[in-house]
């Protein structure tokens, strides 16, 4: 039991892209291969795939959600000038963090680390039921 034709196309597009595209950008690309695809379908399928864990959502605070086909652990560097999202390897981030980045020409200014999961209160509640 595989994904539908459209969903497969959207998945392939995200997986093959290196640019962390938005839903709109993915829509514009897949329209070339499946001209009457709808934007709603792109959103629905992207959410489906993200929920299934085969792609990853990236929220960098530029009003649009970006998508990443690489679900292996890595960080992102967002350029405040051009807006591009660069992939950062784990080893270039933790321990002497900025050193490696700066050596590659990046100028890090600010960092956001967000962990998602279940908080102690909700975990306790769940265990009790």
Tell me which residues touch a second copy (CB under 8 A): 57-61, 65, 73, 75-82, 84, 86, 88, 93-94, 101, 104-124, 126
CA atoms lying within 13 Å on the CB side of residue 27: 14
* C-alpha closest to that of 46 among 94, 9, 73: 9
CA angle 51, 52, 53 (to 5 degrees): 90
Among 11, 13, 45, 85, binds DNA (CB under 7 A): 45
39 binds DNA (CB under 7 A): yes
Least separation in angstroms between residue 104's CB and DNA is 29
38 binds DNA (CB under 7 A): yes
Q: Which does 33 bind (CB under 5 to 8 A by kind): a second copy, DNA, none?
A: none
Q: Which does 72 bind (CB under 5 to 8 A by kind): a second copy, DNA, none?
A: none
DSSP notation for 24-68: HHHHHHHHTTSTT--HHHHHHHHHHHHHHTSSEEEE-SSSSEEEE
Of 9 and 88, which CB lies nearer to DNA in the complex structure?
9
Candidates 13-21, 43-51, 96-104, 119-127; binding stretch for DNA (CB under 7 A): 43-51
Least separation in angstroms between residue 118's CB and DNA is 21
**Rounded Cα distance, 113 and 115, in Å:** 7
């Amino acid at each position: 039991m595989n994904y539908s034709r459209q969903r497969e196309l959207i998945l392939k597009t995200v997986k093959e892209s290196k640019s962390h595209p938005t839903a709109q950008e993915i829509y514009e690309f897949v329209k070339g291969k499946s001209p009457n695809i709808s934007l709603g379908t792109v959103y629905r399928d992207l959410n489906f795939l993200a929920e299934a864990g085969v792609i990853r959502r990236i929220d960098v605070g530029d009003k649009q959600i970006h998508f990443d086909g690489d679900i292996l652990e890595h960080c992102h560097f967002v350029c405040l000038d051009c807006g591009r999202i660069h992939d950062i390897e784990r080893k270039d981030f933790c321990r002497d963090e900025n050193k490696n980045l700066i050596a590659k020409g990046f100028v890090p200014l600010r960092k956001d680390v967000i962990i998602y999961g279940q908080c102690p209160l909700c975990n306790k509640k769940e265990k009790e039921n």
